[in-house]
Structure 1
Amino acid sequence: MDNFNRTFVELQSKASLWWPKELTTLEASTSIIPNLIETQDKFISILNLTNSSPEQIFSIIESANFPANLFLKHLVVLSDVGGEKLQRYNSNFDSLFPENEDGSRIFQYYWRNEMHEYIFQGLPIKRLDNSKLKIDGKGLLEESQLDDLKRDVIMLLLFGSNAEDEGISANLNNCMIGNLLGKKDDLEEFIKQRYIHVSRITGGAEANSLGQIAQKYVMDFLKNHLTDDYNIVSNGHITGVTHNEGRTETTFDIVVSKGDKSVAIEISFQVTTNSTIERKAGQAQARHELVTSSGNFIAYIIDGAGNFQRKSAITTICEYSQCTVAFTEEELTVLIGFITEHLL
């Protein structure tokens, strides 16, 4: 029989601590804010150097060898214009920017009290979204250069609020960073404050998203390594396992069932330390008693350098877990062994 019960030291010796290579790409798609903060100084310098004309910014982006998709992602985040809004603008392009007799579409806007015109070259298209602009997680893994579509969107995000047409200006009222071009102090204050705000909002969401990635990976692993007579449910329940004096079914990250028996699985993978592992540790004894008293089983998947900074929490979990494994293929195979041994 495998050693399903682990001590803190035993578990740490099996742990990967950092995201496995299988999840690196998925993690990158949720971790854009740190990358934006890391590159914000160069982004600010490009905006600051744009001083003679609005469209000068394109030559500066190219001469700075700054990826156009990363530059565009900065603007999208700072302007709070996501994929849905971009697609809405694209869908309404005919009413916002109707074609002239020669087929051109012109964006008229003010910059430094003077009227400027920009002729669209790429918009509208059939569907505009983050992947088309290479600003989704997968797209940002590769550097992308300026093209007509990116130029069009950059101009809208920089100067949309300055449109001569009041309807366009109202629709793009957050798109005002162009007013700060060439104003270094104002740029730095606005952008750095904005990223502090964005980081606070997205921090929890990012951790939650990473947790979902780990959960999905485990779900897929279990489905690929267990036979069809096992029922595998994400955010599942076990019959008779409740809290709040029986009023609420207890939810587990994953529940694997066969016949009338189940294994509840809780997952935590944190590269940076946070309170998630403390919460799971605080629930560990009660969950163990609830699950085992009903004749079922409970297991934990614990990994990540951040989690192993919380020795007391992990020690508690190990004490109240019937199978504790780390987040590696070898370790998940141990979990498979536990499940098949106990769910006959």
Structure 2
Amino acid sequence: MASTEIAVGIDKVVKRYGPVTALHGVSMDIRENEFFTLLGPSGCGKTTLLRCIAGFEDVTEGVIRLKGGDITGLPPHKRPVNTVFQQYALFPHMTVIENVMFGLLRSGWSKPEAVARADQVLQLVQLGDFAARRPAQLSGGQQQRVALARALAPRPQVLLLDEPLSALDLKLRQAVRMELKALQRETGIAFIFVTHDQEEALTMSDRIAVMSEGRVQQIGTPREIYETPLNRFVADFIGETNLLDVDVRSVDNGMAAISLPGGHCFTCPAAAVVQSGKGHLSVRPERISLCAQGSGDLDATVEGQVYLGTDIHLQVRLADSERMTVRLQNSETTAVPETGAAVGLKLEAGAARLLAD
């Protein structure tokens, strides 16, 4: 469980490259012993922010603190953080243990101390039996764990991870996720993880910061980000959702009275930033069930289906021509209507959420 104490404090950080602003006044607090993920599409500023924390990029404005101390102006080698990159950059002519020891010896550790510490972290990442091998004799997942061991060896106060799983195939990436999360809990330090993969973020993180165009859109737990997005970007980027343009008649005490283009009216929860006028209704596909036409919240016509193995995505069109997706669990008891069939759509209580732009 993450501590309430702050490991890294980021206060109104701006980063400019000439006329281009990569970070627009970013602020967030990352807690001790927390797996914190910076999530967003390519070019959103997440890696730039990570590099600012590491000291590889200078901050144009703002302050970065580590355990309460200002590290904004410190060079990378004076910051008690370490980074694992997309490319592991292992020395091919060195053994696994020599790779892990390299930074320790350069930092002034004696050889016996470096050997003992390297052996300790190799045991931690379950590579103790591979110490004498060279990187070319390891799988991609094993090389990734060597890079982790090397980064953990100097006992950093914070570990930064810049998409370290991107070079792995899907099944290996899924397996390593759980190992990485377990490693974070065992070491007891803050991990700051950069990814564009929503599934990685949801399965590994204690909290997530969703970023877009150099700004933080929302910070919260995976459940908060998925279930209660603040705006259209977050809802659309995290998982799948149906987004319908609606007229907002009123917003009162967190609830909104809305009407769809076809005239159907109902009340639903609203994000705090929503006001009357135009808005976007978000409904996750798995929160919709089928029923007889006229007996649900909406009526629709089936336009097609996509078979995905674990589930089936049913594509439907509403009377006002808006399209939606309904996710049906794949089961022998699941009745899948034919294309052209008229169906009713029933929304789970609280499934519809009104969002801002």
User: Is TM (by shorter chain) over 0.5?
Assistant: no
Q: With CA pairs under 8 Å and 6+ residues apart, which has the higher RCO, 1 or 2?
A: 1
The bucket for the TM-score relative to the shorter chain is: under 0.3
Larger Rg: 1
TM superposition score normalised by structure 1: 0.27
Which structure has the highest strand share of the two? 2
Which structure has the highest helix share of the two? 1
TM superposition score normalised by structure 2: 0.26
